[in-house]
A = this chain, B = another copy of it.
Amino acid sequence: MINPQWLRSFMVLAERGSFTRTADQLGLTQAAVSQHIHHLEAQLGPLLIRRPRQVELTPAGQALLGYCDDMEQAEKRLNLRLSGADDRQGEISLITPGSIGLSLYPLLLDLQASYPGLSVRHRFAPDQDVLEGVRNNHFELGLVTLKPDDPRLVACHFADEPLDLVVPATATVNSWEDLESLGFIDHPDGHAMASRLLSRVFPGNRGIRSIACKGFVNQVGLILEPVARGFGFTVIPRYAREAYAPGEAIRVVEMGPRVVDALWLIYRAEWPLSARARFVASELASRLTGETLALV
């Protein structure tokens, strides 16, 4: 590794051809510039031929000038990466639960179409894996349904995710017994969501565990298929339900008080969120909910 000030002197000298003019330009004395070149030549061999009124580069001098150019390019790349100045360029790494992830997927594709400089790495995972992924610096952004209490993570309210009770289009549902007759279509977060919603709609019910499980699937996009075929009911977030093809043989039961899950956007607290991640997170929130995301 070569002293950067020496290289700076050499570059200006190569351009201007005179020690005196180089010193002027750099705000140093001619003697300092002479010493810099002396150090470089001690290390690398003869770099230039001194002529009255003008220096000439040797091949070694030309090689060193090439190196200086390489260095400048590398520094530009570093500065670009550090500043993240262009918030519409670079990688976005996002890890989300399947429900909201399914809703965001087309929005992310739209963003990529609008800003071709963006590339998106998006993984669907349960809450626990989301936390790990962000904490371990594998993903810059994550969405979780429970606000984490971890000093290493920032959590911003991203959106509210209402839960829907979804039944076959032809079903009649007015009581807990109607649900028992239908049966339950489960998914990874199925029990937790059903418990939360149904304990509000049917207070004092016997619990979701007393209803026969008629199916299980861990792909959010596939949960409503058995419901549409009349095999049973399920409880899923509205965004996931809305992402399903319209005109299917399902309907939502609007009964009792609404239950809403808050979604939290998380990222590492110890360093600044990149400009592009800020931009994309804001766009997603805005396009999903129509509201402005309040990042800290």
Contact = CB atoms under 8 A, between A and B. Distances in A.
The DSSP consensus for interface residues of chain A is: helix
Interface in A258-275: 270-272, 274
Given A56-B137, A82-B60, A137-B56, A49 B4 contact: no
B4 A59 contact: no
A74 B82 CA distance: 21
B2 A45 contact: no
A8 B1 contact: yes
Interface stretch (A64-72, A166-174, A193-201): A64-72
Nearest to A69: B74
Contacts of A81: 60, 63, 66
Given A1-B7, A7-B1, A71-B71, A44 B271 contact: no
A58 B271 contact: yes
A75 interface: yes
Contact of A66 (B63, B78, B274): B78
A206 interface: no
Sorting the interface of chain A by its residue count into under 10, 10 to 19, 20 to 34 or 35 or more gives 20 to 34
A221 interface: no
Contacts of A272: 45
A44 B80 CA distance: 12
B75 A74 contact: no
A215 interface: no
A59 B274 contact: yes
Nearest to A152: B49
Q: Which 6 A-B pairs have the closest CB atoms?
A: A1-B4, A70-B74, A63-B81, A67-B78, A58-B271, A49-B270
Interface of A: 1-5, 7-8, 44-46, 49, 56, 58-60, 63-64, 66-67, 70-71, 73-75, 77-78, 81-82, 137, 140, 270-272, 274
Given A58-B270, A59-B271, A60-B81, 14 more contacts: A1-B7, A1-B71, A45-B82, A45-B272, A58-B271, A59-B137, A63-B82, A64-B78, A66-B77, A67-B75, A70-B70, A70-B78, A71-B71, A71-B74
